[in-house]
Chain A
């Protein structure tokens, strides 16, 4: 069996199901949780918070800044065009492209990090049910051993009113 999961309307029931799975020995990474909205007020909604996204955004900004400095200064040195008595490499005037490229670098790095770390664009969806779009919360286990199915069904049932489904 590929997966077994339950769909709950109440986040409290979903939390109880998650707790029951942990009590049964399933590690955090083995429990699948899917919802149609962020549920940060529950423990299960607090998972995987740690991210390097802010640091990567800063690095992206620094890359943009360095790239813009090289683009402007190298261009100006390659074709020394005198404009209004300004120095050939005039940092004051270059400040606008430098700033914009810095911010663009930060924004693009943020989006790239989101796409990679949230695994967007991957083909196929592992455990999913269209009823999630109706506001239900999916709690499931991937590749459960056959001898644990009945225990899992019992745990899901005890957590609260919900529908248990299987992916053969």
Chain B
């Protein structure tokens, strides 16, 4: 332990919490107003009826469900990545984990709202909750929608706990570093944390067990979301590959979202010393791997449908390949595979800027993928009389924009009240043997970059 390093580290990471600039208020006002417009639009939809959205009797799932799948996918950024890196004891993970876990919690909250928005009559949301009731509507545990409830609730609760537990020592530090009401609030949140060896061991054991538990939970969540589609005998949906395909896509988009978030907070909170090029470099390599895995699954999925030559699948297949949806499809291939391969595959380009450019493309590409899964399949069902079309309406577009603003708002507020980088975990990283391991990793990465 070096007291100077410790002090600098603590001061740097607490600075955004203890000093508030005008930029913070402006950002909160800007994103907050978009979120308010989103809520007002939702209220308008509730009062007027779900007919204001573009969904119809043929294409009954639209942007709301596209965004639901998209945000649940983004949520795979954090807890899963963090758990894997924690179990692998990757020394470079320390500054990354909390940034990632926060994305998971917020993306799940946002994603979880879309089924409620899609319901229309949101006051009946409790019908989704599976419990034996006396209203004659007993839960059907064979329904993938009920599975969704179990999977998302479990993942949300586990992710929140996984995010909050390692915050307890940091709350204790904030309790000591602040005064007045803030100190009292942090004191309450720290739950009387002292830092005895017993407490440290229990916390680390709990985090280890939770990391083991949360990986299958995270994988199950997106598999269950894929079951919403693959359990239905609808062209393009009824596929055995959907589970791993969805999980791969979720991790892919999740890492991309994490890289974008890290780049923004690095710049805005002046955390250049902590979120280093090596973090972007390593996550970039992971992203490149996921890009290859994604194109592999996409090829499998497309080839099987094309080779099968089923008449009811062909209308859907060609509408995506060369028809009305082809601009979206080919854009998706370019931004999810071609651009990432250039920026992440070539060592010289795998810089912070390079990984961020690739990540922005991937987030757009993965949203398009969700769109191409949901909409065309409902537009081209087995019998041509049931074919339909879908055009999103302004409430759907407004609510979608509001959710992106909500993500930014939640992240900004989170960074204001909680250190975005775990201080105690970073302190452990300054221990001589940890430092040595990290230096070797950095040297290796630097060698690769040359």
Residues of A at the B interface (CB closer than 8 Å) are: 9-11, 32-41, 44-49, 51, 53-54, 57, 71-72, 74-76, 78-79, 81, 83-84, 86, 90, 93-94, 96-97, 99-101, 103-104, 106-107, 110-111, 113-115, 117-126, 128, 130, 132-135
Which residue of A11, A38, A113 has the most chain B CB atoms within 10 A of its CB atom? A38
Contact pick for B202, options A76, A86, A94, A118, CB 8 Å: A118
Q: Would you call B138 and A79 a contact (CB within 8 A)?
A: yes
Q: Would you call A10 and B1 a contact (CB within 8 A)?
A: yes
Across the two chains, which residue of chain A brings its CB closest to B432? A41
Q: Would you call B132 and A47 a contact (CB within 8 A)?
A: no
Residues of B at the A interface (CB closer than 8 Å) are: 1, 3, 6-7, 10, 130, 132, 138-143, 146-147, 150-151, 153-154, 157-158, 161, 165, 168-169, 172-173, 176-177, 191-206, 209-210, 213-214, 216-217, 220, 224, 227, 424, 427-428, 431, 433
Q: In the complex, A45→B428 CA distance in Å?
A: 13
Q: If A36-B169, A36-B427, A111-B161 touch, does A119 touch B151 (CB 8 Å cutoff)?
A: no
Q: Would you call A104 and B202 a contact (CB within 8 A)?
A: no
Q: Would you call A76 and B158 a contact (CB within 8 A)?
A: no
- Taking CB atoms, residues of chain A closer than 8 Å to B1 are 9-11, 37, 135
- Taking CB atoms, residues of chain A closer than 8 Å to B191 are 115, 120-121
Q: Would you call A96 and B195 a contact (CB within 8 A)?
A: no
Q: Would you call B3 and A9 a contact (CB within 8 A)?
A: yes
Q: Would you call B141 and A72 a contact (CB within 8 A)?
A: yes
- Taking CB atoms, residues of chain A closer than 8 Å to B139 are 75
Q: Would you call B206 and A110 a contact (CB within 8 A)?
A: yes
- Taking CB atoms, residues of chain B closer than 8 Å to A75 are 130, 132, 138-139, 141
- Taking CB atoms, residues of chain B closer than 8 Å to A119 are 192, 199
Q: Would you call B3 and A135 a contact (CB within 8 A)?
A: yes
Q: Would you call A100 and B150 a contact (CB within 8 A)?
A: yes
Across the two chains, which residue of chain B brings its CB closest to A44? B197
Q: In the complex, A94→B191 CA distance in Å?
A: 38
Q: If A51-B205, A120-B191 touch, does A83 touch B165 (CB 8 Å cutoff)?
A: no
Q: In the complex, A126→B139 CA distance in Å?
A: 50
Mostly, the B contact residues are helix
- Taking CB atoms, residues of chain A closer than 8 Å to B224 are 96
Q: List 9 A-B contacts (CB under 8 A).
A: A75-B138, A97-B146, A100-B153, A100-B154, A107-B154, A125-B192, A126-B194, A128-B194, A134-B6
Q: Would you call A100 and B217 a contact (CB within 8 A)?
A: yes
In the assembled complex, the CB of B157 is this many whole angstroms from the nearest CB of chain A, namely 7
Q: If A97-B150, A100-B220 touch, does A53 touch B142 (CB 8 Å cutoff)?
A: no
Q: In the complex, A117→B195 CA distance in Å?
A: 13
Q: Would you call B165 and A114 a contact (CB within 8 A)?
A: yes
Which residue of B6, B165, B200, B217 has the most chain A CB atoms within 10 A of its CB atom? B200
- Taking CB atoms, residues of chain B closer than 8 Å to A111 are 161, 165, 206, 210
- Taking CB atoms, residues of chain A closer than 8 Å to B172 are 133
- Taking CB atoms, residues of chain A closer than 8 Å to B216 are 99, 103
Q: Would you call B150 and A101 a contact (CB within 8 A)?
A: yes
- Taking CB atoms, residues of chain A closer than 8 Å to B194 are 34, 125-126, 128, 132
Pairs A-B, 10 closest by C-beta atoms: A48-B198, A135-B6, A38-B200, A133-B176, A93-B142, A96-B147, A120-B191, A118-B202, A100-B150, A79-B138
Q: If A103-B158, A133-B172, A134-B7 touch, does A96 touch B427 (CB 8 Å cutoff)?
A: no
Q: In the complex, A36→B220 CA distance in Å?
A: 36
- Taking CB atoms, residues of chain B closer than 8 Å to A99 are 216, 220
- Taking CB atoms, residues of chain B closer than 8 Å to A74 are 132
In the assembled complex, the CB of A2 is this many whole angstroms from the nearest CB of chain B, namely 15
Q: Would you call A107 and B150 a contact (CB within 8 A)?
A: no
Q: Would you call B192 and A97 a contact (CB within 8 A)?
A: no
Q: Would you call A84 and B3 a contact (CB within 8 A)?
A: no
Q: In the complex, A121→B172 CA distance in Å?
A: 12
Across the two chains, which residue of chain A brings its CB closest to B150? A100
Across the two chains, which residue of chain A brings its CB closest to B214? A107
Q: Would you call B202 and A53 a contact (CB within 8 A)?
A: yes
